[in-house]
A and B are shown apart, each in its own frame.
Chain A
Amino acid sequence: MEQTEINEIIDVGAVFTKKHIKPKWFIWQKRKYPVKETTYTWDEDVGSARIIHFSVTDGSTLFEISLNKKTLAWTLEKTATD
């Protein structure tokens, strides 16, 4: 299992329901990745900002993306491949 730290701001298409945030796709390095499954969600506080993390997969690669609820910026945190 190889994890690569990316830490880049990305564009994300997401659906905000009353209870959940569901990322649907994201664009990284000019390529659009569909989110086929969100496998896990967790959050943390960094200073006064709440960061929500999502483990998502496009079917072949696992990505960790995050939403900073204070700045509303999405970040691609890391990728994991076999």
Chain B
Amino acid sequence: MNAFFASVEQAANPALRGKPIVVCGQGRTVVTTASYEARKLGVKTAMNLYEARRACPEVILVYGDTNKYVAASHQIHKILLEYTDLVEVFSIDECFVDVSRLCKKEGDAKRIALEIKTKIKEKLGLLCSVGIGPNKVVAKIACKMQKPDGLVEITEENISKVFENLDLDKLQGVGVGSKISQKLNSLGIKTAGDLGRAPLELLMHHFGIIGRYLKNVGLGEDNSPVKKYFEYEQAKSIGHSRTLDINTWDIAVIKAYIMMLSEKVGARLRASKMEGSTVNFFVRYGDFTHFSVQHNLKTPIKNSCDIYSQALKLFGNCLPLKKAVRMLGVSISGLCKESTQGHLFAEFGKKDKAERVFDGINKEYGPFTIKPGSVMIAEKFGIDEGCGMVAKSRRKFPQAE
């Protein structure tokens, strides 16, 4: 999708159409998405709001509404699922669709792509770019070649011709980031064609195991299949992070945030019937330096209070604080299916029972309806329930309204 969040806001509000807008969060935040009108005037994603206003004083700030974007994303999935169930959701605004079987029956991919673009425009008022290729990597590269409202096809036969003069920055969406590009440039590799011709040994020597992947990208080769929409991938970790509204030295506030993050992580773990044995803690300071640490446990955990106490122990490594805290993150990895074995002593089962009750209430009435008192300290600083993407496990088929 093109400038997805901003386009949804412009579709929802006619007064914003054709104007430079940015979608951002409330409080201290950065530009999440800039409309094409704002981009033309120099506003870029991830600029802070001061920089955005300096680049374009007339820019209109719109506070993002994740629910709106998730709903739009579901509607797009619904359109794609009319064609095939081989729809792999890559992000909130990107999908891979395998139409190879459909092409055998109903003609060429370009016609199908045009039909999809028209439906999305008619139903949602949104523009998208479509890239057609023999595999996911080539399709993604094709998609990036023409924005907004693009439609580019790279066939198996013309890959080498297209890649010959294709700048490395066009490969950013397929794992060739700016640092890798710089290093490749220093090796004399300037285009995708150069990358395809580069000796594998040279790439492996400089980039390790991803050298082989880079070579394949340069050749336009990718054997990974498009996954089915309803084929859920098991999450590798579950985590939440939060930038505080103001930098703080206040340990009570920091602990409250850690509690809030632990609650969110715990609730998601239990909802997906998982538990994890590695606790990760992340802190970013006011000067943008950061510290992260993880700890492996002998027994996996899922209770919010257990996650909190482990995260708190890890936070102990940061004490005494030398700098004000800007951002905190808690995540659990080493995930496995939750154990259904009961506790030998009834006392130990009390926490599980209590959290099941809390989860039941929060499921019925909404997140954080019932919560630990200390979370209220964090609430004073503002909790954004919609922060982050919707986990694959929470994805569901869109309902017709």
Contact = CB atoms under 8 A, between A and B. Distances in A.
Chain B interface: which size bin?
Answer: 20 to 34
Chain A interface: which size bin?
Answer: 20 to 34
B71 interface: yes
Given A1-B60, A42-B67, A43-B71, A55 B401 contact: no
A1 B62 contact: yes
B15 A43 contact: no
Nearest to A48: B364
Contacts of A20: 401
A44 B15 contact: no
Contact of A42 (B60, B71, B363): B71
A57 B401 contact: no
A7 interface: no
B365 interface: yes
A57 to B, nearest CB: 7
Main secondary structure of the interface of A (DSSP, over half): strand
B14 interface: yes
Nearest to B8: A40
Nearest to A3: B63
A41 B21 CA distance: 20
Interface string A1-30: 101000000000000000111000000000
Given A44-B70, A80-B13, 12 more contacts: A1-B21, A1-B61, A20-B401, A40-B13, A40-B68, A40-B125, A42-B72, A44-B67, A46-B365, A62-B14, A80-B15, A82-B15
Interface of A: 1, 3, 19-21, 37, 39-44, 46-50, 52-53, 55, 57, 62, 80, 82
Interface of B: 8, 11-16, 21, 60-63, 67-68, 70-72, 125, 362-366, 369, 399-401
21 contacts: A1-B15, A1-B21, A1-B60, A1-B61, A1-B62, A40-B12, A40-B68, A43-B67, A43-B71, A43-B399, A46-B366, A47-B366, A47-B369, A48-B363, A48-B364, A49-B366, A53-B68, A57-B14, A62-B14, A80-B15, A82-B15
